Amino acid sequence: RKFNFSAGPAALPEEVLQQAQAELLDWHGEGLSIMEMSHRSAEYVGVATQAEQDLRELMQIPDNYKVLFLQGGATAQFAMVPMNLLRGAESADYINTGIWSKKAIKEAQRYCNVNVAASVEANNFTSAPVQSELQLDPKAAYLHYTTNETIGGVEFDYIPDAGDVPLVADMSSDILSAPVDVSRFGLIYAGAQKNIGPAGLTVVIVREDLIGQTLAGTPSMYDYKIHADADSMNNTPPTFGWYLAGLVFQWIKRQGGVQAIAEINRRKAAKLYAAIDGSDFYGNPVAVNNRSIMNVPFTLADTALEARFLELAEAEGLLNLKGHRSVGGMRASIYNAVPEAAVDALIDFMQRFEKEQA
Ligand code: PLP
């Protein structure tokens, strides 16, 4: 296998893939695949329940929060959040730190007035705003932000204070990368395809008292309460993704939990940023305290060399280093499952590539 720096769907732990492969045809001697099993069977419900328990343990999710295993990606959450959390209000606060926040804003505007509490668009999304810059609307139902902008590589280094209203976070690209205090949030959501498992599964963690007051006309599939009351089995859930997420949660536990994973992540990111900063050949524009430990965008001083860089990298088994099509440049996504050896190999390649151009 090669080193995969994809932003998502992203690398999964090799150990997890091996385990899934070993039991793919015959799950635990049942004579069928987990993919072929009824979601109502005692065996599958056991798998699903264990996955939820493991996630609760890993993130220390308080008991008054529901954990939902849904479909529709983080993009469906862009709509589900206002549909469920406006609760009679007409406006919501959003922080704009990049492409994903903008998409969340645009979708929310279909349901309410969006007050952009702060935007860093003027600096080309190269930092996160500080708390004192947030201009909150006293009538807003909640404050939404993107903890980690996957494309820009900008990550908040603090949890915003939303005052009396719930704080809502899109954690698609940094969930489980470092410990967070879940009790500070009203709702957290994440598409699975970066740090959790395969695409097709979306995890939502929501405080119980916030659900059950949806906007008139909300489809039942977009109602958190309906999913919560049915233990995410209102209809057929994404069973394989949920199972695989469970294997990933167990893998994180074997690594020593989120705290231990965070130390490795910080070390991986620090050495990659050091390599970028240590050379005039490579650059990263993000404010140092907001640099993402998951997505590391970088540029080459001479953009004409980008295609050659990518071609040679790929030939060495370093895959998916091309930046997002909207911003160009390079991007190395170094999620939990990307081994430190991958980062070492990338740095080594970058240094050799630079020398060859001299
Ligand atoms: N939010 C963030 C921060 C993302 O990185 C992504 C996808 O990459 C999305 C939302 C959209 O997720 P999905 O494709 O699961 O709808």
Looking at the CA of residue 151, tell me the nearest atom of ligand 1.
5
Residues 130 and 170 in one domain: yes
Residues 240 and 312 in one domain: no
What is the whole-number distance in angstroms between the Cα of residue 312 and the centre of ligand 1? 29
Q: What is the pLDDT of residue 326?
A: 86
Residues 329 and 243 in one domain: no
Residue 115 and residue 139 in contact, taking contact as beta carbons nearer than 8 Å = no
Q: Tell me: the pLDDT tens digits for 299-351?
A: 999 999 999 999 999 999 999 999 998 888 999 999 999 999 999 999 999 99
What is the whole-number distance in angstroms between the Cα of residue 22 and the centre of ligand 1? 30
Residues 196 and 301 in one domain: no
The tally of domains found in the chain comes to: 2
Q: Tell me: the pLDDT tens digits for 55-93?
A: 999 999 999 999 999 999 999 999 999 999 999 999 999
Q: What is the ipTM of this complex?
A: 0.99
The answer to whether residue 348 is domain-embedded is yes
Does any ligand 1 atom lie closer than 6 A to the CB of residue 150?
yes
Residues 176 and 109 in one domain: yes
Residues 282 and 249 in one domain: no
% residues pLDDT > 90 (the chain): 98
Q: Which residues span the domain enclosing 290?
A: 256-357
Helix ranges (H only) for 196-335 are: 224-229, 239-254, 257-277, 306-315
40 is an annotated ligand-binding site residue: yes
User: What's the predicted TM-score (pTM) here?
Assistant: 0.98
Pocket of ligand 1, candidates 6, 69, 75: which has the most ligand atoms within 8 Å of its Cβ, to mutate? 75
Identify the helix (H) or strand (E) that includes residue 48: helix 42-59
Rounded average pLDDT over 243-271 = 98
Rounded average pLDDT over 202-228 = 98
Indicate the average pLDDT of the chain. Answer: 97
Residues 59 and 85 in one domain: yes
Query: Ligand 1: which residue has its CA nearest to atom 3?
Result: 172
Q: Given a cut of 90, is residue 168 above it in pLDDT?
A: yes
Q: Which one, of 264, 268, 244, lies nearest residue 255 by Cα?
A: 264
Residue 254 and residue 54 in contact, taking contact as beta carbons nearer than 8 Å = no
The answer to whether residue 6 is domain-embedded is no
Last residue of a domain, one of 220, 239, 254: 254
Secondary structure class of 304 (helix, strand, coil):
helix
**Known catalytic residue: 271?**
no
Q: Given a cut of 90, is residue 228 above it in pLDDT?
A: yes
170 is an annotated ligand-binding site residue: yes
What is the whole-number distance in angstroms between the Cα of residue 65 and the centre of ligand 1? 22
Distances (CA, A) of 281 to 9, 249, 303, 348: 29, 39, 10, 14
Q: What is the pLDDT of residue 327?
A: 87
Looking at the CA of residue 77, tell me the nearest atom of ligand 1.
16
Pocket of ligand 1, candidates 147, 150, 204: which has the most ligand atoms within 8 Å of its Cβ, to mutate? 150
Residues 87 and 223 in one domain: yes
Q: Measure CA of the first residue to CA of the last residue in the chain; give whole Å.
A: 31
Q: What is the pLDDT of residue 305?
A: 96
**CATH value at residue 105:** 3.40.640.10
Residues 46 and 62 in one domain: yes
Residue 2 and residue 318 in contact, taking contact as beta carbons nearer than 8 Å = yes
Q: What is the pLDDT of residue 358?
A: 78
**CATH value at residue 297:** 3.90.1150.10
Q: Tell me: the pLDDT tens digits for 120-134?
A: 999 999 999 999 999
